[in-house]
Structure formats: structure tokens, C-alpha cells
Amino acid sequence: MSAPLPPSWRWREDEVRALGERVAAIVAAHLAGLPSDPVFRPVPPAAASAFATAPLPLDGAPAGDVLARFVADVLPYPFGNGHPRFHAWVNSPPHALGVFAEALAAAMNPSVAGGNHAAVHVERQVVRWFADLAGFPSGSPGGTGLLVSGGSMATLTAFTVARHRATRAAGIDVRADGLQGLGRRCTLYVGAEGHGSAHKAAELLGIGSSNVRVIPSDAAHRMRPGLLRSALDRDVADGCVPLAVMATAGTVNTGAIDPLDEIADVCAAHGVWLHVDGSYGGPAVLLLDRYRRTRAALARADSIAMDPHKWLYAPVDAGLVLLRDATAARDAFSLVPAYLRTDGDPSGVGGPVWFSEFGFDQTRPFRALKVWMLLQHLGVTGYRDLIAHDIAVADRLAAGIEAAADLRLLARGLSVVCFRAAPPGCPADALDELNRRVLTDVQLGGRAFLAGTTVDGVFALRACVVNPGSGGADADAVVAEVLAALSRQR
Ligand SMILES: Cc1ncc(COP(=O)(O)O)c(C=O)c1O
């Protein structure tokens, strides 16, 4: 029996094209208009309440009407990343090609769990390119890697494999018995400036946040390898099972890069997994000559997290985890019994060993397309220039801060600049509160956007430049905005 297509599913090619052209026009106008719009404006209370109370539509509306509603109610209130004076957190603007790559990936809409379809091969290629850059083994039976939702998931994935390896060496099968059978305390080691996702991962993996050893930093906010060694010595003597050390190549707070070589020595001496969180700083370390020593040390890691959706300008989401030992990763995640596993089916339906055997997700999006397209479009040299540009803008911002008598530079690493207002004569114990007011003033002013943080125990303003559309004039304008806010708030 031939059933007619439901009316709401009847799309003619010209209708699809017209819809796409309209979307493309909206995208183009949005991206072009960003610099002249406020960096940030909060969603007005009436609009927020409309979102909170509008009922689920019973009857559908034409796609054009829905687009018009998006333009009126959603598009005017972005978070601000994309604007050349948005420097909060690590949120880059999307490259325009990445925006349209998302639509192309959705048009194909595969699940990249596995199979012999192009999306799988694209993701394998992307992983191989990064593995080559990082000096990691790629391809069977060496290393492996996969795209995930972000740095947090990359670290969770790496820790899962590390936990499996270490507990197996300690005599249990953590997949069958959880940590219950171990009867010993499992520990993780993270720098004081390490990202909170490591602690969340410890909680999710049943390790417990109280078993995360927080290793203090030196004056440059880098993990102290000597203290890491002592913590490991102590725990091993106490019968603990150290699972992994997480070092950071580009901390979110100050852009500090931990001394990876010395940390790798400590890990090697203890036979402990080294995970490097390069979610933010990884691309700079992999691409810029000035970080080649760090890069060489990075190649000693067991796993690396790196986020194309941060400093590679891919639209959210796109995280990457690289793993040195594909077999260990597969053992930790695969639900295919070892005796039934095959090494893939290169010419048939099954294709290479499925990604779903190396991570948590089964249905997986075609994240790789935007990364693959951007890597081809920009190339290594293009990316190198863009990242170097961002660092130069951060340098200019830092210089402006140092030149201002009322501002004090607190930390400077990669493209992060931490500083605060410290006008002469202002009592030291009033500075935190003053800087909080300055930050809110700047954020709501709509002409610049910074984040707040704590550096060496004091409240600070933090800028992270990950937008090649920002220039020296923007850096100068940010300094001027902060000084103007200071004069209003004093
Ligand atoms: C250094 C670092 N690690 C991990 C993360 C977490 O990454 P994601 O937000 O992509 O999960 C971030 C996020 O800013 C980060 O800067």
C-alpha cells in the first residue's frame, strides 16, 4: 500500500534551498553585526518569563515563522563570544565554515558509532592528524582517539581507561566488580590549578573527591613535581592504588603550563598514567615553535584532552581525547567480549573497529566534519597565525594594564591575562569587593566582557583571548572600559 507523505514532511528541493538561503542570510548578518552589537545584554525579564511559560505548540507553524521567532527572541541575546571584546572563559567564536559544516553534518546525520561510511573515516583521519601532531601513535594496534563533547568528557574517558588499567594490575576487574572488590583506596593527582572536571570525573568513577590529591603550585601557578612525587610515595607506602596524574597544558585560570617533562619522569618512576589536559592550551603547544619543549614532553603522556571547540574555533561541541594504548581503551569500554572482537572489516559493512568500543556513547554525532573542514581550510600555518595573533593581543592587553597606574597585572600565560584594579590609597581589604563591582559594571556595560576569578587568593579580572577578530584596538578599549568602570565604582 502506498501511503501519501504526511504534508509536514513534504519538502521540495526549492523549498529546502529557500530555507537554507534564509538561514545563511541570518548567519551572515549575525556574524557581520556582532562587533557593532553590545557584547552582552541579559535576556529581559519579560522575554525570560515568556520562555518559561509559553505552552508546547499543539499545531505546527511554517518554518519561516519559526525562523522569524528565532530572529526576534533568541538571536539578540547571545552570550557574547564572537564579539571582539568578549574575553571571558575559553569561548571562541565559531569559524563561519564550521557553522555551515554543522548543517552539512546534520544533512547526512549519521551515527558515528561505527560502520563503513564516510563519517567514520573522516573522524579517524582527524584523530590521526592530531595524533601525528602530538607525537602519539595512531592507527591499529597503536594509539586511538575519538571526538567527544568537550574537555570534561575527554578527561572522564581517559580516567576510565587509566582506572581500568591500574585496577587490573592491582588484581581486580573493575568492570565486573566496580571498585568494591579492591579493598584499597584509589587516588588521583591533580594540580591546584587543574580543571574541576577532573574532580567531577573522580566522583563519577567512584574514586571520590577526597581521594583526589591536589598538588600545590609554584609561584607561576604550575604543578610542583617534587610535591607530586612525595604524594605518590606516601600513598604507595599507605597501600593506595594511584590511578592517574593529570597535568595541564594551559590552565583555565592563568594559562600556566605544568612542567610536563618533570611530571612525566615522576609518572614513569611510579608507573602511573599521565593524562595531560590540553583542552585550552593544547593547540598552542602543538603548533607554536615557542612551546616545542612542552610539545616533546606532551608526547610522553598516556592520554591528552584537547578541545577543537576552544582554541581551534570549531562550533561547540568538539572535544578530543587521544589515547596512547588502543588496546587498553578498548578493554575499558568495549562490550564485545574479547574473544569475539575483530580488527574491523575494511571493505564490508562493519568498517574499522567501532568508535563505540572506545568510549561511552553509542550513537555519536558527526562532530569530525567541522574539525576536518577547518583543518583543511586553515591548515597548520593558518591556525598557527591565528593562535599567535590571539597571544599577541593578550600581550597588548597585559602591556596596557601594566601601563595603567590603577591596575595591577597578576598573571599572564598563553592568551590569559589576570589583573585587578588596585588604585593607590584603596585599603587592601576593600579591593576584592571593588573589583567585583568593576567586573559587573564592565559586563553589564555591553562594551567589553571579562570573567572573574581568584589568583593567589585574591579576586581578579580575567581575560582569555581566543578570537582572531580581536585586535590591538580592542585590547586598548578593554583597558579603557575597566578604568571607566573603576572611576564609576570607587
Ligand atoms: C583547562 C580546561 N580543562 C577542561 C575544561 C573543560 O572543558 P569542557 O568545558 O569542554 O568540558 C576547560 C574548560 O574551559 C578548560 O579550560
2 Cα: distance to centroid of ligand 1 (angstroms): 51
Domain boundaries, the chain: 110-365, 377-489
310 in Cβ contact with 299 (< 8 Å): no
Whether pLDDT at 345 is above 90? no
293 Cα: distance to centroid of ligand 1 (angstroms): 23
pLDDT tens sequence across 13-42: 999 999 999 999 999 999 999 999 999 999
- Give me the pLDDT at residue 195, please: 98
Exposure class string for 398-413: b at 16+ Cβ within 10 A, else e: bbbbeebebbbbbbbb
pLDDT tens sequence across 371-393: 999 999 999 999 999 999 999 99
- Give me the pLDDT at residue 391, please: 98
**Ligand 1 in reach of 320 Cβ (< 6 A):** no
Whether pLDDT at 171 is above 60? yes
The band of 3, judged by pLDDT with boundaries at 50, 70 and 90, is confident
The band of 141, judged by pLDDT with boundaries at 50, 70 and 90, is low
467 Cα: distance to centroid of ligand 1 (angstroms): 17
**Ligand 1 in reach of 98 Cβ (< 6 A):** no
182 Cα: distance to centroid of ligand 1 (angstroms): 31
DSSP conformational letter for 5: P
246 Cα: distance to centroid of ligand 1 (angstroms): 13
- The crossing angle, in degrees rounded to 10, of helices 225-237 and 260-270 is 20
C-alpha cell at 367: 562532530
Q: Which atom of ligand 1 is least distant from the CA of 252?
A: 16
Q: Which atom of ligand 1 is least distant from the CA of 248?
A: 1
The band of 339, judged by pLDDT with boundaries at 50, 70 and 90, is confident
pLDDT tens sequence across 42-94: 999 999 999 999 999 999 999 999 999 999 999 999 999 999 999 999 999 99
pLDDT tens sequence across 92-129: 999 999 999 999 999 999 999 999 999 999 999 999 99
182 in Cβ contact with 241 (< 8 Å): yes
Whether pLDDT at 170 is above 60? yes
Q: In 3-state terms, what secondary structure has residue 461?
A: strand
The band of 338, judged by pLDDT with boundaries at 50, 70 and 90, is confident
277 Cα: distance to centroid of ligand 1 (angstroms): 8
- Give me the pLDDT at residue 11, please: 86
Whether pLDDT at 1 is above 60? no
- Give me the pLDDT at residue 458, please: 98
The strands making up 458-464's β-sheet, listed across from edge to edge, are 407-413, 416-421, 458-464, 451-455
The residue-averaged pLDDT of 294-308 equals 97
- Give me the pLDDT at residue 342, please: 81
Within a 10 A sphere around the Cβ of 428, how many other Cβ atoms?
8
- Give me the pLDDT at residue 336, please: 86
The band of 139, judged by pLDDT with boundaries at 50, 70 and 90, is low
304 sits in which H/E element:
strand 303-306
Average pLDDT of the chain to the nearest whole number? 96
Q: Which atom of ligand 1 is least distant from the CA of 195?
A: 3
Q: For domain 110-365, say whether CATH 3.40.630.10 is its number.
A: no
pLDDT tens sequence across 262-290: 999 999 999 999 999 999 999 999 999 99
- Give me the pLDDT at residue 98, please: 98
Residue with the nearest Cα to atom 4 of ligand 1? 151
Q: Which atom of ligand 1 is least distant from the CA of 153?
A: 11
What is the percentage of the chain residues whose pLDDT exceeds 70?
Answer: 99
484 Cα: distance to centroid of ligand 1 (angstroms): 31
Q: In 3-state terms, what secondary structure has residue 335?
A: coil
DSSP 63-100: HHHHHHHHHHHTTT---SBTBTTB-STT-PPPPHHHHH
- What's the CA gap between 73 and 50, in Å, rounded? 10
**Ligand 1 in reach of 277 Cβ (< 6 A):** yes
pLDDT tens sequence across 232-265: 999 999 999 999 999 999 999 999 999 999 999 9
Beta strands in 95-218 (DSSP E): 144-148, 186-191, 212-215
Owner of C-alpha cell 552539512: 104
Provide CATH code, domain 377-489: 3.90.1150.170
> Which among 335, 382, 342, 383 has a CA at the least distance from the CA of 362?
335
37 Cα: distance to centroid of ligand 1 (angstroms): 27
**Ligand 1 in reach of 307 Cβ (< 6 A):** yes
- Give me the pLDDT at residue 343, please: 84
Q: Which atom of ligand 1 is least distant from the CA of 89?
A: 14
Which residue out of 87, 153, 197 has the highest number of ligand 1 atoms within 8 Å of its CB and is therefore the one to mutate?
197
